Amino acid sequence: MSSNRSDELSDTLAEPITPVPSAPTPSVPPTPKFNWRKRYARMLWVSDLLVLVWVVLGTQIAWIGLGNVAVAIREDARINEFSYWTFSVILIAAWMYTLTFVDSRGYRVIGSGSTEYVRIATSSFRLFGVIAIIAFLFRIDVARGFLLIALPVGILVLLAERWLWRQWLGTKRRNGEYAARVLLVGSESSVAQIARELHRSPGSGYQVVGACVPSGRVAGTIPGTAIPIMGSVSAVGRAIQATGADTVAVTSTDELPPDKVKEISWNLEAGKQHLVLAPSIVDIAGPRIHMRPVSGLPLIHVETPRFTKGQLFVKRSLDLTASLVGVILISPLLAILAITVRLTSQGPVFFRQTRIGLRGKEFTMIKFRSMVTNAEDLLEQLQREQRDAGNEILFKMKNDPRITPVGRIMRKFSLDELPQLFNVIGGTMSLVGPRPPLPTEVAQYADHVHRRFLAKPGITGLWQVSGRSTLSWEESVRLDLSYVENWTFLGDIVILTKTARAALAPGETAS
């Protein structure tokens, strides 16, 4: 947009943009003195280079040795040669260029999600595929063992390096650094909703610094938050300057003037300021979202959740294989726990309880008994005396008097849930899935909560690795539905990995 047009727009902004302090007191985080995106990309570039130099040259030395062995190029009766050291340098340069070409260090993929890792792996495989084709076409005699070792080792070390950087970046972002400074634009309710979602995952790297709302009021903050209101949607340009925002996120367009979003995008500085459209749909994963432009309209298609036969086969294969191996490996521990439960308290070794599983069908869940035998009879009395105010349906107590001393230890490390591996082998449960609810809980479900029965209940799940018994009922439902609607095999592996750490942390699961 021309400078005259910008001046005309500025002249129309009559309202001040300095927020008036109120409760809670609005505050704008200080603007960083450097471009964190470029700095982080440079650090990744240097570390990628060091990794590839170490992997490629290390593989060459391990496979070929330090001698000046040559790569042969056969041309009819002639044979041309060049040093393996030259080939390794070319391979490192090509690998670095490939990682840059696929934008594996771009700010859009770093910090969260699997896109960064996927781009590293796929681009590396393609590079080596191209090398194989070139070697075949031009009859270049390269040691196959050298390439077969360098490829997987290089990918694994690159992924490990990027994971370490992600841990460092996550720490920085939780401290308010290395994050996009976001100015939210939309109705107050939509701004509050998106702000809550961004606050829930600080590792994603979005730091909300202000908001512009259609009402144009500048006093105080967005209700329920500490986000200062910087003025109306016509004051976006000046609000960006006042807050130092580098990203504008439009949270709703219902109350915005026609073409306002397009006008906002025209006023952003190319390459330095970014526009994000944040639809008010949450917990929807990337594979279900598709952008399909139609007549200039960027239509967002959200596919309905479904499990294909292939997905069901993969999930069941993982469940069955891991459970059988797990039962065999921990059979001595199972025997010790069974004997301990039997000798330390009266009653059966196992606790059997009716739960609701796939498609709403009842099944019997097995656990080591961690409570006194009349625990169910005492439940109603305890519910009357002490109910967790943060969860309207699940009953949880921090120091439940029904738990035996041995049961308390088992619950602390989730050992009481190990017999559920037999439920998994039998097909009534999965290793990862929604929490298996009681029939009394299901009777209180709203209609949409029944979608959690599209998947088998799990021994562990998002609900366990994201807070366990500290979650509210709404959070528990949100995580269960998010898992059911966005299931991936890689997601199950990540949850299983996190469960091992969560089980070692003090705390109690919802029974």
Residue 154 has pLDDT above 60, yes or no: yes
pLDDT band at 390 (very low <50, low <70, confident <90, very high): very low
Span 473-489, pLDDT tens digits:
777 887 888 888 778 88
pLDDT at 475: 77
Fold for domain 3-32+179-280?
Answer: Rossmann fold (3.40.50)
pLDDT band at 378 (very low <50, low <70, confident <90, very high): low
Span 288-338, pLDDT tens digits:
666 666 666 666 666 666 677 888 899 999 999 999 999 999 999 999 999
Arithmetic mean of pLDDT, 30-51: 88
Exposed, middle or buried by CB within 10 Å (0-12, 13-18, 19+), for 479? buried
pLDDT at 198: 84
Residue 386 or residue 86, greater confidence: 86
pLDDT at 15: 41
Q: Which residue has the tokens 């699997």?
A: 114
Span 260-288, pLDDT tens digits:
888 888 888 877 888 888 766 655 555 56
Domain with CATH 3.40.50.20 in the chain: 3-32+179-280
pLDDT band at 54 (very low <50, low <70, confident <90, very high): very high
Most confident of the following: 77-86, 192-201, 343-352: 343-352
Residue 81 has pLDDT above 80, yes or no: no
Arithmetic mean of pLDDT, 443-464: 86
b/e burial code for range 184-216 (CB count within 10 A of at least 16 → b): bbbbbebbbbbbeebeeeebebbbbbbbbbbee
pLDDT band at 44 (very low <50, low <70, confident <90, very high): very high
Residue 388 has pLDDT above 80, yes or no: no
pLDDT at 504: 62
Residue 424 or residue 308, greater confidence: 424
Residue 110 has pLDDT above 70, yes or no: yes
pLDDT at 389: 44
Residue 92 has pLDDT above 90, yes or no: yes
Residue 72 or residue 196, greater confidence: 196
Helix axes 84-101, 144-174, angle to 10 degrees: 40
pLDDT at 394: 57
Closest to 262 measured CA to CA, from 243, 272, 248:
248
Residue 442 has pLDDT above 80, yes or no: yes
pLDDT at 393: 53
Q: How far is the CA of 199 from the CAs of 173, 182, 298, 337, 397, in angstroms?
A: 11, 12, 27, 41, 28
Q: For 356, list phi and psi in degrees, rounded to 5.
A: -105, 130
Span 218-257, pLDDT tens digits:
667 888 888 888 888 888 888 898 888 989 988 887 777 7
Instruction: State both tokens at 212.
Output: 């512009």
Arithmetic mean of pLDDT, 406-426: 91
Whether the Cβ atoms of residue 111 and residue 204 lie closer than 8 Å to each other: yes
Average pLDDT, the chain: 80
Residue 28 or residue 167, greater confidence: 167
Percent of the chain with pLDDT over 70: 77
pLDDT at 11: 41
Percent of the chain with pLDDT over 90: 30
Range of lowest pLDDT (72-86, 376-390, 407-421): 376-390
Q: Which residue has the tokens 């609607």?
A: 485
pLDDT at 232: 84
